Amino acid sequence: MKAGAGQSVQRLSVLGATGSIGQSTLDLVGRHPDRFEVVALTANGDVKGLAELAIRHRAKMAVVADPEGYQDLAKALSGTGIVVAAGGDALVEAASQPADCVVASIVGAAGLVPTLAAVRQGRRVALANKECLVAAGELFMREVSAADTELLPVDSEHSAAFQAIGASAARDIEAITLTASGGPFRNWDHERLKAAKPEQALRHPNWSMGAKITIDSATMMNKGLELIEALHLFPVTISQLDCVVHPQSIVHCLVSYRDGSVLAQMASPDMRTPIALALSWPERIDTPTKRLDLAELGQLTFERPDDRRFPAIRLAREAMAAGGAAPAVLNAANEVAVMAFLENRIGFLDIPAVVSDCLDAASSGALCRAVDHIDEILAVDLAARELARSMLEKRGVA
Ligand code: NDP
């Protein structure tokens, strides 16, 4: 990744380029044209968006996951010299292209296989796709070690923990506390939550993100998923992981040490800061993130999450404690329930209820077994989606 004048040119691929994280990444690329060279970009079905990004950033390859998008993409990119492909194998091919860093920003468990392909290249993976680690944490981390891949967290809380831990020894860390904004419904009572609509849940107070993670923030499942993610990324046990609601989203994580010190990382809520760190570490690069003015902010506040109104964190903790395939069941059930909510087929409070029903049903069967291979995780993921759909049917949802 070396280039002249003491600066590196980094060959970069972005899986999920058309999404919120993908576009923030490419915004940074556009601000540092001498530093980055784009290799492969992927999307699911947004052919127009992908073609525009591929042309603007002079990508070498553009891949759309949905095979039906192939003809349109090929047409949009004809004459550009950009290699075009479509389908699941093509995603893996894009992830496997020679690159110095792959940004894994596909949403959901759909990102697992292509992200693993990037991991197996043994280069740097900037990981936004937390569902990978939730569904397949142990197996995923085993592959990271085997390939000697640098795995850099993009999630702001984990980027913060990564920075606050630095070179500290595991034995010195007492606890990691992730912060949560509390989402748009932080102060809503049970009756209002019951009637909450997708358009209300999609109005996040601090962050501009894709639809799925925005709903996860509203249910607080996002924090549950992040606790599981942290368990796999950092040298801590479940009991050392905690979270606290911090509505201003300025402090992203706190790491407590055995001597009573607490190190926190702060920044305005803008994903370009943690993305930039994952791309440039151990260096840092300029970002347009609004600079913090603590006096202007005046107050930073913290409160305990309310488990009664937001049971998702408890569900995630239960799945994390159960281990094996339980987190994969939690993740798959949540993805199905979130989609049903976004399509107005279930209510807001049905999301954790469906996840809970699935975890209960799975715990008494073979679904929550120990897993030793990625194919087994993929099978559990499929079966858990089926289970979640049957739970929706039981609730009378078409
Ligand atoms: P978006 O929904 O904005 O973007 C998702 C991206 O993945 C799009 O490029 C989409 O393509 C693509 N995609 C969707 N489904 C598939 C599929 N089945 N196969 C291949 N590609 C697919 O999501 P975000 O950018 O918000 O989030 C991405 C990941 O990053 C998530 O795991 C999220 O939890 C995590 N994250 C996001 C943060 C944020 O601020 N947004 C913060 C921290 C973590 P298309 O556009 O064609 O649909």
pLDDT reading at 2 higher than 80: no
Mutate which of 107, 134, 178, 223 to test ligand 1's pocket (most atoms within 8 Å of Cβ)?
107
- Written as one string, the DSSP assignment of 201-253 is HT--SS----HHHHHHHHHTHHHHHHHHHHHHHSS--GGGEEEEE-TT--EEE
Are residues 142 and 230 located together in one domain of the fold?
no
User: What is the whole-number distance in angstroms between the Cα of residue 172 and the centre of ligand 1?
Assistant: 35
Q: Is residue 202 part of a domain?
A: yes
Mean pLDDT, range 13-24, rounded to an integer: 98
- What pLDDT, on a 0 to 100 scale, did the predictor assign at position 288? 98
Q: State whether 137 and 264 are in the same domain.
A: no
Nearest-atom number in ligand 1 for the CA of 208 is 40
Closest by Cα among 269, 267, 271, 276 to 32: 276
Ligand 1: centre distance to CA 114 (Å) = 13
Angle CA 243–247–253, to nearest 5: 40
Domain that holds residue 387: 323-394
Residues 257 and 376 in one domain: no
What tokens appear for 143 in the block?
């592959």
User: Which pLDDT belongs to residue 133?
Assistant: 97
Burial class (CB in 10 A: 0-12, 13-18, 19+), 300: middle
Judge whether 263 lies within some domain: yes
Which residue, chain included where needed, has tokens 């603590």? 294
Q: Which protein residue has the closest C-alpha to ligand 1 atom 30?
A: 128
The mean pLDDT value for 59-86 works out to: 98
- Can you read off the two tokens belonging to residue 111? 């990102």
Mean pLDDT over 232-242 rounds to: 98
Distance 60 CA to ligand 1 centre (A): 21
Shared-domain flag, residues 162 and 150: no
Question: How much is the mean pLDDT over the chain?
Answer: 96
Indicate whether 304 belongs to any domain.
no
pLDDT at 3 over 70: no
Residue 359 CA to ligand 1 center (angstroms) comes to: 25
Q: Are residues 227 and 261 in the same domain?
A: yes
pLDDT band for 75, please (50, 70, 90 cuts). Answer: very high
Going by DSSP bridges, is the β-strand pair 61-64/83-86 parallel, antiparallel, or unpaired? Answer: parallel
For the segment 101-121, the average pLDDT, to the nearest whole number, is: 98
Reported as a pLDDT band with limits 50, 70 and 90, residue 7 is: low
Q: pLDDT at position 5, please?
A: 44
Atom of ligand 1 nearest to the CA of 47: 47
SS3 181: coil
pLDDT at residue 266, as a whole number: 98
Q: Tokens 């976004």 label which residue?
A: 342
- CA-nearest residue for atom 41, ligand 1, is 209
- Asked if residue 344 and residue 361 are part of one domain, the reply reads yes
- CATH, residue 135: 3.40.50.720
> What pLDDT does residue 251 have?
98
Mean pLDDT of 316-327: 96
State pTM to two decimals.
0.97
Please indicate, yes or no, whether residues 150 and 162 belong to a single structural domain of this protein: no
Q: How many domains does the chain have?
A: 3
Ligand 1 centroid to residue 270 C-alpha, Å: 16
Q: Are residues 171 and 103 in the same domain?
A: no
Indicate whether 244 belongs to any domain.
yes
Q: How far apart are CA 358 and CA 380, in angstroms?
A: 12
Mean pLDDT of 275-297: 97
Residues 178-196, mean pLDDT to the nearest whole number:
97
Q: Could you tell me the pLDDT band of residue 367, with boundaries at 50, 70 and 90?
A: confident
Query: Percent of the chain, pLDDT > 90?
Result: 93
pLDDT of residue 208 exceeding 50: yes
Q: Which of 21, 204, 378 most suits a substitution to test ligand 1, by most atoms within 8 Å of the C-beta?
A: 21
- 354 with 250, same domain: the answer is no
Query: Do 196 and 123 share a structural domain?
Result: no
Can you tell me the distance from the alpha carbon of 78 to that of 235, in angstroms, rounded to the nearest whole number? 48
What is the reported pLDDT for 81? 98
What is residue 15's DSSP assignment?
E
Question: Is residue 220 over pLDDT 60?
Answer: yes
Residues touching ligand 1 (Cβ under 6 Å) are 16-22, 43-46, 65, 105-107, 110, 128-131, 155, 207, 209-213, 271
Pair (52, 162) in one structural domain: no
